[in-house]
Amino acid sequence: MPLAMFLVTALFTAIGGFFLVYAELPVAGTTIRARDTMDEAVLVRMVYTGAVQMGYLLTLVLGILAMGSEYRHRTLTATLQAVPRRGRMIVGKVLGLVVVVLVNGLAHVTAALLAGGAVLLSADLSVAPDPGDLVLTMLRLLLVLVLWGLIGFGLGVLIPNQVVALFVGVAFAFIVEPLLGFGITFWDAVADAARFFPSQATMSTLNIFDGADAATTQALGGAENPLAWWAGALVLLAYAALMTAVGWLLTARRDVA
């Protein structure tokens, strides 16, 4: 899985970065480069985090499989016989999942730095105009991947059918939620709620648009008033905790034999 994460991340980072750096946009009868419409720091963050959606989709799948495979392969009974206390079993699986996601997350970060750096160098741009900011962005990227893995775990607990959980999770995270979250930012009555959607909370956690004005942030798909990075992380953690808790309550008394 780390190799797949590395290759997918490198590919999508390169494609997205190439568009951000070299694409030209029609404006008032002329064309301007997309990179000229944003601050350099924002551009660099966007290049390096360009594959984050693919990254968190893969960690979401890892999280679903961590619990869903127990139901699918009917090994949950044996697991509970070895660890009778379900709470302890859940904690153990969460800790194991965090380790697995961190390994894959390091592959993601490495690929993002290599592919993103190559794109920036090809355009004679600095690969790290603010090294401290870049380090923080990469650490937040790791945090986001871990939190999405936990969301997947919560979904796997909530939906015992692994195939259904995978379908619902991937379809919602990849198609439905990003489109819905982006769409309601243009509807004043509910625009503020978009900040609490998982995809918007992810962008807030990464702090991608820090330093950009509200118009630029919204044009690039962000919420007009994004959450602070730590608040975005707490929102993602809340999604994971809520789904795990509800799934736990629904299955705590279920006969797993």
For 153-174, the pLDDT digits (tens) are 888 888 878 888 889 999 988 8
pLDDT of residue 159: 83
Planar angle of CA 222, 227, 230, nearest 5 degrees: 125
pLDDT at 146 over 90: yes
Comparing 17-26, 80-89, 99-108, 170-179, the range with the smallest average pLDDT is 80-89
Q: Where are the domains of the chain?
A: 51-106+126-251
pLDDT at 255 over 60: no
pLDDT digits (tens, 9 = 90+) for 26-46: 655 666 676 777 788 888 999
pLDDT of residue 52: 93
Inter-residue contact 21 to 47 (CB < 8 Å): yes
204 against 211, higher pLDDT: 204
pLDDT digits (tens, 9 = 90+) for 36-74: 777 888 889 999 999 999 999 999 999 988 876 666 556
pLDDT of residue 59: 94
Q: Compute the mean pLDDT over every residue in the chain, rounded to the nearest whole number.
A: 82
Buried b (16+ CB within 10 A) or exposed e, 189-215: eebeebbbbbbbbbbbbbbbbbebeee
pLDDT at 84 over 60: no
The model's pTM is: 0.85
Of 23, 52, 62, whose CA–CA distance to 137 is shortest? 52
